[in-house]
Amino acid sequence: MTELISEVDKDDNFLGLRPREEFYSGNHIHRASQLILLDSENRMLLQKRAPGKFWYPNLYTYSVSGTVADESYETCIAREMFEEIGILVPFRKLFKIPCILENKGAYHTVFSGRCTEENAILIRYDPEEAVSVEWVGLEELYRAVKIEPGSYTPSLRAGIIKIFEEGCEKYIL
């Protein structure tokens, strides 16, 4: 069965559904949901994308990320959280960031959630999605994103920089 994902225009207005493969051409804009999953020490679960991923293979990205199908950003992130790391925790919307260049890319809605110690031990990752997951302190991640930007997906870089430039307290607490 062909997976259909949401196509949007440069203002994030819904245009319709297209097969995922059509987005690989770079001629369309889609929607994506991202999750910053934090533990009690404000460390974020980072995912290293699998080498077989079309977009940004082998780069570090959010705790969970997914392409929005015929659903809301919220439904997407809940589905992806369970599929990618095997848990479902309460989350809230933080902000939306456009990562669009020459009519290709995506609107990324970033969410945050807290992981209890009980949930943390249940986390498993899907090897088709990621080769590893690890907990990293937010300030350490912010420094790393600035020092080695090529190791991180553009949307993760944009999201982490936005959080620190606008003030962590606004988003994380």
Distance CA 144, CA 148 (A): 6
**115-143 CB burial, b ≥16 within 10 A, e <16:** beeebeeebebeeebbeebebeebeebbe
Enter the pTM of the model: 0.90
CATH number at residue 146: 3.90.79.10
- Residue 86 lies in domain: 4-170
* Residues 6 or more apart whose Cβ sits within 8 Å of residue 6: 14, 16, 17, 30, 31, 68, 69, 70
Look at residue 6 and give its three-state secondary structure. Answer: strand
Rounded Cα distance, 90 and 61, in Å:
20
Helices (H), the chain: 20-23, 73-85, 117-120, 138-147, 154-166, 168-172
pLDDT digits (tens, 9 = 90+) for 31-73: 999 999 999 998 999 999 999 988 889 999 999 999 899 899 9
Cα–Cα separations (whole angstroms), residue 117 to 71, 80, 108, 120 = 30, 20, 28, 5
Phi then psi for 158, rounded to 5 degrees?
A: -60, -40
Domains of the chain: total = 1
Q: pLDDT tier at 170 (50, 70, 90 boundaries)?
A: low
Q: What local confidence, expressed as pLDDT, does residue 48 receive?
A: 96
pLDDT tens-digit map of 10-29: 888 999 898 888 877 778 88
